[in-house]
């Protein structure tokens, strides 16, 4: 098995948190997720802090703007792009200050090329996804932008190991041909799995850092993730229906960021305990038939998806349970 770029028994967050105070959010992450902290994302701050706007800001020589509430490619940089850059700079400054001299792995997040292509509009109308040439241009631009982003964080945190998470919630719909056109009366053509893997691999190879492909939508074909040469996949455990593809991927050395903590609190409002979270991971591992000793090395415990819609007390309890669950798994 490969050496995974995280300590055994690690836990981390998916990315988004509630609120608008980046300093408070980053302190929460550094305190509750000390083995594998991540750069906080706070979409409640508005346009430019949302996943699509924030990620589109990484595009090189492909400026974007807000038009009628949607992000679209723009003829020239403007105030929307400046806002994206300003928000990211503040976030990175907080990460630099709070993770100074940190020597472990740190995770960054950005939307992947297929989710951006399925969401960003062309200036002439329609999604980027409609134009194969535009998709290639966007993918190459994103790859270069994320390469620069990873390099910047390495300079800020020279003792840390940088991981990159590519958020691809739209990828299953892209592959199935379920992304609707503007009229809603039809859908864009399905993208072939091999082409999808090639697009992802363009980014994976450019950034020169371990990449985690994250999708909390059902139906992600794991073969695409494997063919993209990602280091790990991040999934909501409740959405796993077929164990065979997952077992094959893990046997081949793919890491698993196991979304074992539900993002919505149950009726009593309480997060699952660390014992409950750890048991969900153990149960899956047992059903797959893998040696228990491999579990804490290959698996990172996470919430099922982002936590931007949860209350701060729930978020704090959920992250603590994830951290303690990872440690429980490592103690066995």
DSSP string computed for 48-95? TTSHHHHHHTT-SS--EEEETTEEEE-SS--HHHHHHHHHHHHHHHHH
At 64, is the secondary structure helix, strand, or coil? strand
**pLDDT at res. 1:** 62
**pLDDT at res. 153:** 98
**Any idea what DSSP says for residue 135?**
H
**pLDDT at res. 264:** 81
Q: Is residue 83 part of a domain?
A: no
% of the chain with per-residue pLDDT over 70: 99
Residue 232 β-bridge partners: 212, 255
Q: Is 81 exposed, middle or buried (0-12, 13-18, 19+ CB in 10 A)?
A: buried
Cα separation, 44 vs 50, whole angstroms: 8
**pLDDT at res. 58:** 98
**pLDDT at res. 176:** 96
What is the extent of the structural domain holding 123?
Answer: 22-42+100-331
Determine contact, residues 206/143, Cβ cutoff 8 Å: yes
Q: Is residue 82 part of a domain?
A: no
Q: Is residue 73 part of a domain?
A: no
**pLDDT at res. 267:** 73
Determine contact, residues 319/276, Cβ cutoff 8 Å: no
Determine contact, residues 330/8, Cβ cutoff 8 Å: yes
**pLDDT at res. 182:** 85
pLDDT digits (tens, 9 = 90+) for 160-177: 999 999 999 999 999 999
Residue 79's CB is within 10 A of a number of other CB atoms, namely 10
Determine contact, residues 138/113, Cβ cutoff 8 Å: yes
**pLDDT at res. 314:** 94
Q: Is residue 10 part of a domain?
A: no
% of the chain with per-residue pLDDT over 90: 93
Specify the CATH number for the domain of residue 228.
Answer: 3.20.20.210
**pLDDT at res. 266:** 74
Beta strands 232-236 and 211-215 are: parallel
**pLDDT at res. 332:** 64
Cα separation, 57 vs 82, whole angstroms: 9
Which ranges of the chain have pLDDT less than 50? none
Q: Is residue 124 part of a domain?
A: yes
**Any idea what DSSP says for residue 17?**
-
Q: Is residue 246 part of a domain?
A: yes
Q: What are phi and psi of 133, to 5 degrees?
A: -65, -40
Q: Is residue 59 part of a domain?
A: no
Q: Is residue 74 part of a domain?
A: no
pLDDT digits (tens, 9 = 90+) for 259-271: 999 998 777 778 8
Whole-prediction pTM = 0.96
> What's the structural domain count of the chain?
1
Mark 10-25 as b/e (b = at least 16 C-beta within 10 Å).
Answer: bbbbbbbbbbebbeeb
Q: At 184, list the tokens.
A: 């809603």
Cα separation, 139 vs 116, whole angstroms: 9
Beta strands 70-73 and 64-67 are: antiparallel
């Amino acid at each position: 098995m490969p050496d995974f770029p995280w300590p055994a028994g690690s836990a981390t967050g998916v990315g988004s948190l509630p609120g608008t105070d980046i300093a408070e959010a980053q302190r929460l992450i550094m305190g509750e997720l000390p083995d594998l902290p991540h750069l906080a994302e706070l979409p409640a701050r508005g346009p430019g802090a949302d996943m699509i706007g924030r990620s589109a800001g990484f595009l090189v020589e492909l400026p974007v703007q807000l038009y009628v509430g949607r992000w679209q490619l723009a003829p020239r940089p403007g105030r929307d792009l400046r806002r994206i850059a300003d928000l990211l700079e503040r976030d990175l400054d907080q990460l630099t200050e709070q993770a100074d001299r940190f020597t472990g792995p740190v995770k960054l997040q950005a939307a992947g090329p297929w989710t951006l292509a399925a969401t960003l509009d062309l200036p002439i109308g329609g999604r980027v996804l409609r134009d194969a040439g535009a998709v290639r241009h966007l993918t190459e631009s994103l790859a270069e932008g994320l390469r620069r982003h990873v390099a910047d964080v390495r300079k800020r945190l020279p003792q840390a190991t940088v991981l990159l998470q590519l958020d691809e919630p739209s990828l299953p719909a892209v592959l199935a041909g379920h992304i609707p056109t503007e009229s809603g009366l039809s859908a864009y053509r399905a993208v072939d799995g091999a082409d999808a893997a090639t697009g992802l691999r363009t980014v994976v190879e450019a950034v020169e850092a371990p990449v985690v492909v994250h999708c909390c939508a059902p139906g992600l074909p794991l073969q695409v993730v494997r063919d993209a040469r990602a280091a790990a996949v991040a999934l909501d455990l409740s959405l796993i229906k077929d164990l065979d593809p997952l077992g094959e991927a893990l046997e081949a050395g793919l890491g698993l960021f196991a979304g074992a903590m539900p993002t919505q609190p149950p009726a009593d409002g309480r997060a699952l305990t660390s014992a409950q979270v750890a048991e969900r991971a153990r149960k899956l591992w047992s059903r797959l038939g893998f040696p228990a000793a491999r579990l804490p090395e290959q698996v990172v415990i996470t919430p099922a998806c982002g936590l931007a819609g949860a209350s701060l007390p729930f978020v704090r309890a959920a992250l603590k349970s994830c951290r303690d669950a990872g440690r429980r798994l490592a103690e066995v």
